[in-house]
Amino acid sequence: MAGTRMNLMDIRDLIRRLRATPNDSHIQRDTGLNRRTIRRYRAWARQQGLLAGPLPSVEDLAQLVQTTLAPPPPPQTISSLEPYHTIILDLHARGVEGAAIWQRLQEDHHFAGSLSAVYRFLHRHTPTAVRATVRVETAPGEEAQVDFGSAGRLLDPETGKLRKAWAFVMTLSWSRHQYVEFVWNQSVETWLLLHRHAFEFFGAVPKRVVLDNLKAAITKACWDDPQVQFAYRECAEHYGFLIAPCRVRTPEHKGKVEQGGVHYVKRNFLGGRTPTSITLANQQVLHWCLTTAGQRIHGTTKEQPFVRFAAHEQAALQGLPATPYRLLCGFQQCLLFRTLPPDWPAGACARRLSRRAAVYPGLAVSGHPHAGRAAGRAADPSGSSAARETAGAAVRERRLSRAGYSDRSGNRAGG
């Protein structure tokens, strides 16, 4: 029998009261028992013939209680999520978190249950291991963390075909407010442009940027003396932030972006989502940053990231410069010519080479406005005579080398 369990003497006393009066309200006032419990014991006593005749001995009553008052098994309830058992486990195995699973069930299957039901279901079927971490907090405006993460495949608007995409995430460490953008590559040009977009989205710049050892930003993964790309240093100087590389094989040093940024984007915004065009995905993810991600109660801060950003951190960030940073174009290896114009500083060379122009700090050397590809060549009638002469000599020397000649005198190599 379900309900309140009493010891043997309490049951014997209750039987005496049940025999004395048919009024359950009187028994409730005297004993404090719930009226439903009294009714259940009255029905049991009537079934066992205990309401009339002599009371059984304590030993007989104990035997009777043991054999007839054994508690039934607890009621078996079927979860409202049981029809979606396979779908939920499949999404969870693909890395989709509980909140995103709940959203997908609402959108695709019109599920009317609560988010708590999803969490209970996952807890029963997929127990998680506990991992100990140490949280490192920073002051408002002090730090942002950036990373790239795989975004799966998105539709290329130009070809209409699925293509591998990447998610760039910049997370402000204090407020947890973040900027997300999807791109096709991890080139230096894209990396720097994404920083510019993120700073413009926040309307300000943090004092320090913590980044992973990404090839686009760091040429050698070394904690002691990382060789950062020239362009990234120039970008950092232009915007006034410091670059803080993450130590090799220690992604927990930037856990705010890996767990609350890339990790959160993959499991919430992208989790279980039908592939769409990269243009539409970028429009939707900006709205997601300001609403779903920005208005949620963050698990660590217990506050809404966007509200926390707008109320406190935005004012602590550095202002944007008057003009955005502009990379001339891509970085490529350049041929260092042995002959340089006589008016160039000693040891100078064209360190920055783009698809359209070769320059060295502060001075344009030669421009090719019609060269539309990386290895393209074009005459530059507007360039200086020294630059044209240097470029022409290099081209002639290269042609002689290809033809098998070792120097400009026309002697064939090995002849």
Domain 143-316 -> CATH class: alpha beta
Average pLDDT of the residues in 191-213: 89
Question: In Å, what is the CA distance from 153 to each residue of 107, 156, 287?
Answer: 21, 9, 20
Give CA–CA dist 59/63, Å, rounded.
6
The tokens describing 74, both together, are 């607890």
Alpha-carbon Rg for the chain in angstroms: 37
Which residues are CB-neighbours of 372 under 8 A, at least 6 positions away?
A: 355
Task: Determine contact, residues 31/17, Cβ cutoff 8 Å.
Answer: yes
Q: What is the DSSP letter of 124?
A: H
For residue 415, what pLDDT is reported? Answer: 41
Average pLDDT of the residues in 102-131: 82
Give CA–CA dist 56/41, Å, rounded.
16
Is residue 121 scored above 70 in pLDDT?
A: yes
For residue 55, what pLDDT is reported? Answer: 85
Is residue 168 scored above 60 in pLDDT?
A: yes
The tokens describing 250, both together, are 């220690």
Where residue 211 falls among pLDDT bands split at 50, 70, 90? confident
Coil, helix or strand for 176? coil
Q: What is the pLDDT of residues 126-164, one digit of tens each?
A: 766 555 555 567 899 999 988 777 888 999 999 999 999
Task: Determine contact, residues 154/163, Cβ cutoff 8 Å.
Answer: yes
Q: Indicate the helix (H) or strand (E) that contains 283.
A: helix 278-290
Beta strand residue intervals within 246-402, DSSP E: 352-353, 357-360, 363-367
Q: What is the pLDDT of residues 306-353, one digit of tens each?
A: 999 999 999 999 999 999 998 754 444 343 343 445 554 444 444 433
Mean of pLDDT over the chain: 74
Closest listed residue to residue 95, CA positions, set 285, 256, 265, 251: 265
Give CA–CA dist 383/389, Å, rounded.
10
For residue 93, what pLDDT is reported? Answer: 84
- Percent of the residues in the chain that have a pLDDT greater than 90, as a whole number: 22
The tokens describing 31, both together, are 């004993």
According to DSSP, the residues that pair with 181 across neighbouring strands are 168
Q: What is the pLDDT of residues 26-39, one digit of tens each?
A: 888 888 888 898 99
Q: What is the pLDDT of residues 253-312, one digit of tens each?
A: 554 554 566 778 888 888 878 889 999 999 999 999 999 888 888 877 789 999 999 999
Task: Determine contact, residues 188/229, Cβ cutoff 8 Å.
Answer: yes
Residue 23 one-letter amino acid: N
CB atoms within 10 A of CB 287: 11
Average pLDDT of the residues in 60-64: 87
